[in-house]
Amino acid sequence: MTAATEFEVLPERVARFPFPFPRDTYRYSTNVEPAGTRADTAAGGWGEHPVDMDGFLLDELAERRRVLDADPSRFQALGHMEVAQWDAMLTLMKMLAEAYPQTFALDRDGTVRRWSNRALDLEQAFVYGQSATLPEPPLLYIGRQIQEDVVLLDQRDGALWGDAGLVTFAADWSLRFDVGMSFLQIHGPVPRIHTEGVITRAQSFLMGLHAGQRYRRTNWTLTVDRRLDTATETYPEWGRDRRLLAEGPLDDVGRRLHLRVEVQHLIRLGASGAIMFLIRTYLLPFEEIALVPEWADRLYRVLEELPEDMADYKGITRTREPGLKWLREFGGVRP
């Protein structure tokens, strides 16, 4: 049987899942590669468009709305980021119209631009740079229409600064806490990367990007249930689920424990010179990872080998053992 026929019946969310492990061990690195080309996996592929729409679009936009209503501080923009916000909005609109012409269109009539989004039945005329022509700040306006979280980084004084963002699906961090911090300060809590030079190399790389250049990388962790909002702010709602899962029946683990993968795009904007950081979160339960034996096997080896300090930082010290056990007993993995 060929790989294609073997996996013909895989659901789209599995076939398009950005499985992140190229080898059996995982360590932090400045893992960036040029964006916009399809990355093949054992089940299919991902990554054709830096802004990715899938079958979860409407659910995830409703979830973003719910999170923002409950906590408006998930949107942050320092005053000097006005130009970068407009730049980001227009760039995202152009990217969407180019990637999905059936759904999005951006037209221009003199100074007036017309945006149409058929997925949400939206039509909006606006004048670039004039805030009165939009119902809300530009980053918030466009951020409600895409599945990606967005951070905008200003470049000045030889460093990058996270000075604006719309982040409703953070993996255990807080935009409200981080806004206004430098790239190095934002990464302060991450173990190993400072002594290993990962983050200073990443910053130099990002500061050297030219207008229009696009790169991508992945990051990952484990999450209990299909929960996108695991921000520090809502920790009391989701933190204990990790212990409860570990104490509960092994049967539930395949359905409830998810591999959480972030596809992150890094794009230098042209008009403002800001760096636009897009974070798209994909969640796949272990029982669906196990549909692809190669993935189950690799996930097993990575989890088993991951050093304690990295597991601790990722918040998976309680869940990795049940995950490994489930993969052995139900996921077809031979240790």
Catalytic residues: 217
Of 17-25, 47-55, 61-69, 190-198, the segment contacting ligand HEM by CB under 6 A is 190-198
CA distance 24 to 213: 31
How far is the CA of 181 from the CAs of 151, 169, 219, 234, in angstroms? 12, 19, 21, 21
Decide if 54 contacts 13 (C-beta within 8 A).
yes
- b/e per residue 214-237 (b: at least 16 CB within 10 A): bbbbbbbbbbbeebbbbbebbeee
Binds ligand HEM by CB under 6 A, chosen from 49, 113, 176, 187: 187
Of 43-51, 140-148, 217-225, 248-256, the segment contacting ligand HEM by CB under 6 A is 217-225
| Tokens 């000075």 sit on residue | 163
Q: How far is the CB of 227 from ligand HEM (least distance, A)?
A: 16
Question: Any contact of residue 227 with ligand HEM (CB under 6 A)?
Answer: no
Query: What number of other Cβ atoms are within 10 A of residue 184's Cβ?
Result: 15
Structure tokens at 50: 């830096």
Please choose, from the candidates 71, 75, 271, the residue with its C-alpha nearest in 3D space to the C-alpha of residue 167.
Answer: 75
Query: Of residues 277-316, which lie at the interface with ligand HEM (CB under 6 A)?
Result: 277, 313-314
Question: Any contact of residue 21 with ligand HEM (CB under 6 A)?
Answer: no
Binds ligand HEM by CB under 6 A, chosen from 217, 226, 227, 325: 217
Question: Any contact of residue 259 with ligand HEM (CB under 6 A)?
Answer: no
DSSP state of 182: B
Decide if 177 contacts 295 (C-beta within 8 A).
no
Binds ligand HEM by CB under 6 A, chosen from 7, 13, 30, 128: 30
Question: Any contact of residue 76 with ligand HEM (CB under 6 A)?
Answer: no
What pairs with residue 106 in β-bridges? 115
Of 35-43, 71-79, 92-100, 213-221, the segment contacting ligand HEM by CB under 6 A is 213-221
Q: How far is the CB of 85 from ligand HEM (least distance, A)?
A: 15
Question: Any contact of residue 124 with ligand HEM (CB under 6 A)?
Answer: no
Classify residue 288 as exposed, middle or buried by CB count within 10 Å of its CB (0-12, 13-18, 19+).
Answer: buried
* Site residues (vs ligand HEM, CB under 6 A): 28, 30, 32, 151, 153, 162, 173, 178, 186-187, 189-190, 193, 198, 202, 217, 219, 221, 277, 313-314
